[in-house]
Structure 1
């Protein structure tokens, strides 16, 4: 299933702006009440709560634009400046698929483009029966018994935590809305449950259905790409799936 991340970001950002405007309007009303002499403990507490909520929304807005900018140089910056907006807007323009070559014709209808892309990848990743070919006896090098045992060992809690910290923190959120920075920041609260979930895969060889969901997006390899082969498929998987893959890749890297 291919989902437009642009629509998701736009919807999220729109809701964020509405929430900030509502906070600012309520603060302005309270300030008008204060100007007219209407001020007590309840009004004071209400204004304090609104200011706190508004400040948190400002921070979320900055983080949103930082993710949208996708720039390494924006990682350590702390202001919602024009730089973030210009980088994010430029990337969105470059990633927009305006036209696509379908059956030798340049098509600009977005519905037809979506159908063509979906059909292309459905055919490309269609599973086919393949003959079983044995290759074990012709391998030049083989892993040792100890390496074999190490690859199949149930991971420890420490190994899972190391895999979590080995994942990039500021990547775009997965389909569940969370990225790895959330897992790291809240490890004391959710680390035990998260570890249990990852371990359950290695014990049962099964993933919960909602953990095996990926958001897919197409990024043009260059500006003006018009053919499907010129589009790079990017899949964003959920945190549990990401950590399971990281544990396996870290082990295989040793051998």
Structure 2
């Protein structure tokens, strides 16, 4: 960390619209070294001289650092008599409440997952569709904790067992049983590698085709970076810089509550000349509910990794579970149709 005397983005220097050759070289060096440039959330510039302002003070950390301290934050201090603002590195875990539910694509690599979903869905009976999904998310959360919790520990356990078999072979102890055991351990370990990679690819949520090299650490890094950039550490409220997370949440809630509140307006009927009456044939077409085939076609037209609603279920979950609970799910969607906008690409 310190004064690197160079920028990596045009926004880091006032009045600059392009990067110099030295800045491009410095940016490429950061990429080649495999380090992460941590952002400062409360200061746009860290160096001042007259009218010149730049952000040339930075902290570069390794991927190992981010894995050990994923909540590392930077804060700028008062400049005082210096040209530079001091940089304060903090590693404080802030509790933002329980994490929202999210369906994971890695669950489908488990042989008993679809069977569990079918049993849980039928066990909920004739509950309303939205309540049924909410109750199912609780069961999925428990199942995830039991079968997919501590993936790193499970991988480490398999790797240790594989090493023990290799040590036995190195000591001259070798037979068909040891070889079969090692092959079984390798297969299980590879499954957990795939599950971990699928998990972090989904946490990333966008594609980096150039850099994807089946390196889970790469996806860890990008996911943590996005989480840091999206966090609101400070907010200017009525001219005061607030850092208390509770006050920030209240201010954001009140802002949108006032923004989207219902305003009083005179009641206007459809017969007041605003719209023309449609024919009986068109009215019947608008009231016809979609067929199961149309619902299925719309669902399969949606991109799998996106969340269609705020309940955390993505379209991949709906598609993969369709074969198990397809009939019941189609009926539930059709029953819920007046409240559920079925459109292509939803």
Q: CA deviation at 1:192?
A: 2.1
Q: Secondary structure at the match of 1:97?
A: coil
Q: Which residue of 2 aligns with 1:80?
A: 215
Q: CA deviation at 1:163?
A: 1.6
Q: Which residue of 1 aligns with 2:318?
A: 183
Q: CA deviation at 1:175?
A: 6.7
Q: Which residue of 2 aligns with 1:70?
A: 205
Larger radius of gyration: 2
Q: CA deviation at 1:158?
A: 0.4
Q: CA deviation at 1:115?
A: 2.8
Supply the distance in 2 between the matched residues of 1:76 and 1:26 (Cα, whole angstroms). Answer: 31
Contact map agreement 2:234 2:243 (CA 8 A) in 1: yes
Instruction: Give the structure with the higher percent helix.
Output: 1
Contact map agreement 2:307 2:315 (CA 8 A) in 1: no
Q: Which residue of 2 aligns with 1:108?
A: 243
Name the count of aligned residue pairs: 206
Q: Deviations over 1:140-190 (max 9, x none)?
A: 555443332222212211011012112221225977664212322343223
List gaps (5 residues or longer) in structure 2: 1-95, 105-143
Q: CA deviation at 1:76?
A: 11
Q: Which residue of 1 aligns with 2:155?
A: 20
Contact map agreement 1:183 1:190 (CA 8 A) in 2: no
Structure 1 residues 97, 38: closer, same or farther in 2, change over 3 A? Answer: same
Instruction: Normalising by structure 1, report the TM-score.
Output: 0.61
Contact map agreement 1:155 1:199 (CA 8 A) in 2: yes
Q: CA deviation at 1:126?
A: 5.4
Q: Which residue of 2 aligns with 1:166?
A: 301
Q: CA deviation at 1:194?
A: 1.8
Supply the distance in 2 between the matched residues of 1:159 and 1:7 (Cα, whole angstroms). Answer: 28
Structure 1 residues 130, 76: closer, same or farther in 2, change over 3 A? Answer: farther
Structure 1 residues 18, 82: closer, same or farther in 2, change over 3 A? Answer: closer
Q: Deviations over 1:97-138 (max 9, x none)?
A: 121122321111223212322343445555677653214442
Structure 1 residues 188, 134: closer, same or farther in 2, change over 3 A? Answer: same
Contact map agreement 2:235 2:243 (CA 8 A) in 1: yes
Structure 1 residues 175, 166: closer, same or farther in 2, change over 3 A? Answer: same
Contact map agreement 1:16 1:57 (CA 8 A) in 2: yes
Q: Which residue of 1 aligns with 2:329?
A: 194
Contact map agreement 1:65 1:80 (CA 8 A) in 2: no
Structure 1 residues 89, 112: closer, same or farther in 2, change over 3 A? Answer: same
Q: CA deviation at 1:86?
A: 4.8
The answer as to 2:189 corresponding to 1:54 is yes
The answer as to 2:284 corresponding to 1:138 is no
Structure 1 residues 14, 186: closer, same or farther in 2, change over 3 A? Answer: closer
Supply the distance in 2 between the matched residues of 1:150 and 1:197 (Cα, whole angstroms). Answer: 22
Contact map agreement 1:69 1:88 (CA 8 A) in 2: yes
RMSD over aligned CA atoms reads: 4.1
Q: Secondary structure at the match of 2:335?
A: helix
Structure 1 residues 46, 153: closer, same or farther in 2, change over 3 A? Answer: farther
Q: Which residue of 2 aligns with 1:99?
A: 234
Contact map agreement 1:167 1:180 (CA 8 A) in 2: yes
Supply the distance in 2 between the matched residues of 1:44 and 1:130 (Cα, whole angstroms). Answer: 78
Q: Deviations over 1:198-251 (max 9, x none)?
A: 12224xx57xxxxxxxxxxxxxxxxxxxxxxxxxxxxxxxxxxxxx32x2x45x
Supply the distance in 2 between the matched residues of 1:59 and 1:184 (Cα, whole angstroms). Answer: 21
Q: Which residue of 1 aligns with 2:292?
A: 157
Q: Which residue of 2 aligns with 1:238?
A: none
